[in-house]
Amino acid sequence: MKKNILFLLFYIQIQLINAQNVGAILGSNADIKTKCEQLKTLSISYSEKNIDSAIYFAKLADSLSRKTNDIKFISEILTYYSDVVGSLKKDVALNLAYENLELCKKSKDCKLIAKAYILIARTNYWRIGNVEKGFEYYELAMEEAEKCNDKETLLEIYSASENIYFNNEQYEKNKQILFKKERVDPNLKNDAWHNANFGDIYRNTKNLDSAEYFYFKAIKIAEEKKDTPSIIQLSFNYALIPLNRNDYRTAIQYCQKGLEMAQRINAKNFIIPGNSQLYSIYEQSGDLVNAKKHLQTVIEQNEIRNCVECLIGNYRRMSELNSEQKNYKEAYTYLLKGIELFEIQNSAQTNSDIAKVEEENLKKQKQLEIDLVNQQKEAETKIKNISFVALGVSFLLICGIVFSLLKISRSKKIISLQKQETELQKHLVEEKQKEITDSINYASRIQNAKLPQKHEIYSAFPGCFVLFKPKDIVSGDFYFFHKEGKTPFIAAADCTGHGVPGAFMSMIGSEQLNDAVSKTKDTSEVLKQLNKGIKASLRQSESDESTRDGMDIALCSVDTQNRIVKYAGANRPVWIIRSGQTEVEEIKATKVAIGGLTNDDQHFETHEIKLQEDDTFYICTDGYADQFSGKDGKKLMTRRFKEILVGIQNMTMPEQEQYLDTFVEDWKAGTEQVDDILVIGIRV
C-alpha cells in the first residue's frame, strides 16, 4: 500500500513539473514555430527517462504546428511525433506517417514527398516489421528523390536505403545504390567509408579479392586524412579478409594494428571490439592460450562497465575454452560465475516459474497415480481372460521363432563378415584419399604463400585485378609481381600440366623468375635467363625429347608515371584496349616456350608500348578462352573472350573481375573446369 502511495505521489510530482514546463512555453511571447521547437526539445530530453512525457510534448508540438500554414514545418514536427510515438504505439505511428504523406503531396514538393515515403518505409520496416512494405516505400522514396535531382535529398534518401538492402543480403541492390551515390557526389570515390561499404558487400558475397581492394583503398584514404578512428575500425574490417582465407597471421596483424592505435589515442570504445575479434581469430586458429588472454581483457572491460548480459556470454565462452584445455577447475569457476549472474538477472521470474511448474507437476503426478491404479485393475482382468489362449499360441510361436532365428543368425554372420570386409576396404580407401587430399591442401598453402600478396599489386597498380581460378586444389598457372624502385614487373605464366605436376612446375618457375629479375631489368633478358634457369633445374637438353616440360608467359615492366609498358612473351600475348576504342590491339609473343626443347640462347623480343590515361592492358593464360560451355559443349574461344573484354570497359577493374568470374561460372554451367584460369587487367 505504501509503495502504491509513493508511486502515486511521484507520478503527481512529475505531472506538476511537466505542467509547469508546458505552461512556461505556451505562456511565453515567442512565435508558434519557436514554441513548437521548444516542445520538441523538451520531448527529446524526456525520450530516454520517461517516454510517456516525451510523447505528450511531441503531441502538443504537433497540435500547435497545425496552426501555421507552413507544410514543410508541420511535416518536420509530424515526422518527429511519428518516430517518438512508434516506440509504444506502432499503429498510431504508421497512421501519422500516412497522414504526413498526404500533407506533403499537397505541397507538390518532391523533396518533402520523398522524405514522407522514407518515414512510411522506416515505420513499416523497423516498427511494424513489415519488410515487404518497407522495401516498397524505400523504392518509392528513391523514385521521387530522383525526380527532384536534388543532391542533398538524393544522398539522404540513398543513405537511408542502402543499409536496409545490406541487412537483408540484397547486395546487388545495395551496390547499385552506392554507384548512384557516386554519380550524385563523385567525391565519394575518395571517401574511406564509401569504399569500405563496397568492401563489405564483396566480402559478404565471397569476392575476397575485390573486398581486399576496396578495404585497402579505404585504409589509404583514412591514412592520408589522418583519420585515426576510421583507420582503427577499417583495420578490424580488413582483418576479416585474410581470416576468410584461413590466413590467421595476417588477420591478427591487422587486428593488433588497430588495437595498438586505439590504445595510443586512448580510444576505449575500440578496446572490447578489438580484443573480441582477436579472441575469435586465435580460437579459430587453435591458439587457445592467446584466445583466453584476449577474452580475459574483454571480461575485465565488461566488469568495469557492469554489462551483465555481456559477462554471462563471456564467462560461458571462458568456461568452454578452459574445458578444451582440460583446465576443469577454471572451467567450473567461470561456469558458476555465469550461472550466478544469470540467476541474479532472472531470479524473480525464475522463482515464479519454478513454483508454477512444481504446482503443475504435483497435479499431474496425482492424476497419473489415479490413472495407473485404474489401468492396473483393467489389465489384471484382461490377463485372466486371455492367459490360457495365449499360452497355447505362444508355445507354437516360440517353436517357429527359434527355428527362424537359427536360420537368420547364420545368414547374419555371413552378411556381417562381408560388411566388415567392405567397411574395412572403404575405410582404407578413405584414409588414403584423406592423406592424399591433406597433402595436396598443404601443398596449396605452400603455393599460395609463394604467390605475391594481392594488396602489394593493388598498391602498385590501383586500377588492377587478378582473377585466379585453379582447376584443382593446386595450380600450374601462377602470377608474378616484383617491385624494386619505381618500375614494377608483373607476369602471367602457364606451366606444363595442371594439378600437382603443374604446381611443381609453377614453384620452379616462380623461383627462377625471381632470380632472373634480380639479375636484370630488361624483359627480354629476364625471359632468356628464365629459359636457362628452367632448363638447368630440370636438366633438359635440346636433343632429349622426353623432357618437354616448360611454360608460356607474358611479362611486363610498367613505368606508371610515364605510362610506358615494356613487354616480352613466350607464346602468350598482351592485349591493349585504348580508352574509347572498341577493338583489341594485340602484341604477339615470341613463338617458343620457356624450357623444353628451346635453345639455351633463345632471344625473346621486347615491345615498348606507350599508353594514354584510362587505357587498359591484359595478360592471361589460355584457360579462360579454352573453357567449354555446359549448355552446348562449345569452347569459349579467344575471339569471344576479347569481345567480352571490350564490352566491360565502362566498369571499374574490381567490377570487371567479378563480371569475368560470374560469366565463366555461368558458361561452365556445372561442367568440370578444363584448365587453370588466370587473367590480369591493369588500367593506367
In Å, what is the CA distance from 618 to each residue of 66, 481, 570? 65, 15, 15
Instruction: Give residue 438's pLDDT band: very low, low, confident or very high (50, 70, 90).
Output: low
- Residue 310: per-residue pLDDT: 85
Q: What percent of the chain has pLDDT over 90?
A: 24
Could you report the per-residue pLDDT of 589-611, keeping only the tens digit for each? 999 999 887 888 899 999 999 99
Q: Distance between CA atoms of 542 and 593, rounded to whole angstroms?
A: 13
Residues 6+ positions from 227 with CB-CB distance below 8 Å: 192
Q: Distance between CA atoms of 168 and 183, rounded to whole angstroms?
A: 24
Instruction: Give residue 358's pLDDT band: very low, low, confident or very high (50, 70, 90).
Output: very low
Q: Which of 157-166, 348-357, 544-553, 557-566 is the least confident region?
A: 348-357
- Which residue has cell 509503495? 3
Instruction: Give residue 406's pLDDT band: very low, low, confident or very high (50, 70, 90).
Output: low
Closest CA to 181 of 140, 153, 202: 153
Between these two residues, 333 and 652, which has the higher pLDDT value? Answer: 652
Bridge partners of 365, per DSSP, are none
Could you report the per-residue pLDDT of 374-398, keeping only the tens digit for each? 544 554 454 344 344 444 444 455 5
Instruction: Report whether pLDDT(235) > 50.
Output: yes
Q: Distance between CA atoms of 104 and 321, rounded to whole angstroms?
A: 58
- Residue 507: per-residue pLDDT: 83
Instruction: Give residue 682's pLDDT band: very low, low, confident or very high (50, 70, 90).
Output: very high
3-state secondary structure at position 9:
helix
Instruction: Give residue 536's pLDDT band: very low, low, confident or very high (50, 70, 90).
Output: confident
Q: Distance between CA atoms of 336 and 319, rounded to whole angstroms?
A: 9
Q: Distance between CA atoms of 554 and 478, rounded to whole angstroms?
A: 11
Residues 6+ positions from 502 with CB-CB distance below 8 Å: 474, 475, 476, 477, 495, 496, 676
Cell numbers placing 405 = 532365428
HSE-CB for 422 with a 13 A CA cutoff:
6
Average pLDDT rounded to a whole number, residues 661-676: 88
Range 288-291, long-range pairs (CB < 8 A, 24+ positions): 288/321, 288/324, 288/325, 291/321
- Residue 307: per-residue pLDDT: 83
Q: Distance between CA atoms of 139 and 389, rounded to whole angstroms?
A: 79
Instruction: Report whether pLDDT(421) > 60.
Output: no
What is the overall mean pLDDT for the chain? 81
3-state secondary structure at position 608:
strand
- Residue 368: per-residue pLDDT: 42
User: Which value, to the nearest 10 degrees, does the dihedral of the CA atoms of residues 412, 415, 420, 424 take?
Assistant: -170
CA 146 to chain centre: 30
Instruction: Report whether pLDDT(442) > 50.
Output: yes
3-state secondary structure at position 577:
strand
SS3 content of the chain, % helix, strand, coil (to 5): 70, 10, 20
DSSP H or E run through 175: helix 171-184
Could you report the per-residue pLDDT of 307-341, keeping only the tens digit for each? 888 888 888 888 888 878 888 778 778 877 877 77
Instruction: Report whether pLDDT(67) > 60.
Output: yes
What is the number of other CB atoms lying within 10 angstroms of the CB of residue 556?
A: 22
Global pTM reads 0.51
Q: Distance between CA atoms of 44 and 332, rounded to whole angstroms?
A: 46
Q: Distance between CA atoms of 418 and 428, rounded to whole angstroms?
A: 15
Instruction: Report whether pLDDT(371) > 70.
Output: no
Q: Which of 44-58, 171-185, 376-390 is the least confident region?
A: 376-390
- Residue 45: per-residue pLDDT: 86
Q: Which of 32-41, 278-287, 365-374, 631-640 is the least confident region?
A: 365-374
- Residue 54: per-residue pLDDT: 86
DSSP assignment of 419-447 equals: HHHHHHHHHHHHHHHHHHHHHHHHHHHHH
Q: Distance between CA atoms of 657 and 207, rounded to whole angstroms?
A: 9
- Residue 159: per-residue pLDDT: 84
- Helices (H), ranges, 150-287: 151-167, 171-184, 192-204, 208-224, 228-238, 240-244, 248-264, 271-285
What is the number of other CB atoms lying within 10 angstroms of the CB of residue 157?
A: 27
The answer to whether 343 and 365 have CB atoms below 8 angstroms apart is no
Please count the helices (runs of H) and the strands (runs of E) in the chain.
23, 11
Q: Distance between CA atoms of 526 and 557, rounded to whole angstroms?
A: 11
Instruction: Give residue 422's pLDDT band: very low, low, confident or very high (50, 70, 90).
Output: low
- Residue 47: per-residue pLDDT: 80
- Residue 340: per-residue pLDDT: 78
CA 661 to chain centre: 18
Instruction: Give residue 615's pLDDT band: very low, low, confident or very high (50, 70, 90).
Output: very high
DSSP H or E run through 460: helix 454-460
Instruction: Report whether pLDDT(563) > 50.
Output: yes
3-state secondary structure at position 465:
strand
Q: What percent of the chain has pLDDT over 70?
A: 80
Q: Distance between CA atoms of 625 and 251, rounded to whole angstroms?
A: 35
Instruction: Give residue 489's pLDDT band: very low, low, confident or very high (50, 70, 90).
Output: very high
The answer to whether 595 and 549 have CB atoms below 8 angstroms apart is yes
Pick the most confident of 193-202, 470-479, 612-621: 612-621
- Residue 415: per-residue pLDDT: 58
Q: Distance between CA atoms of 111 and 141, rounded to whole angstroms?
A: 9
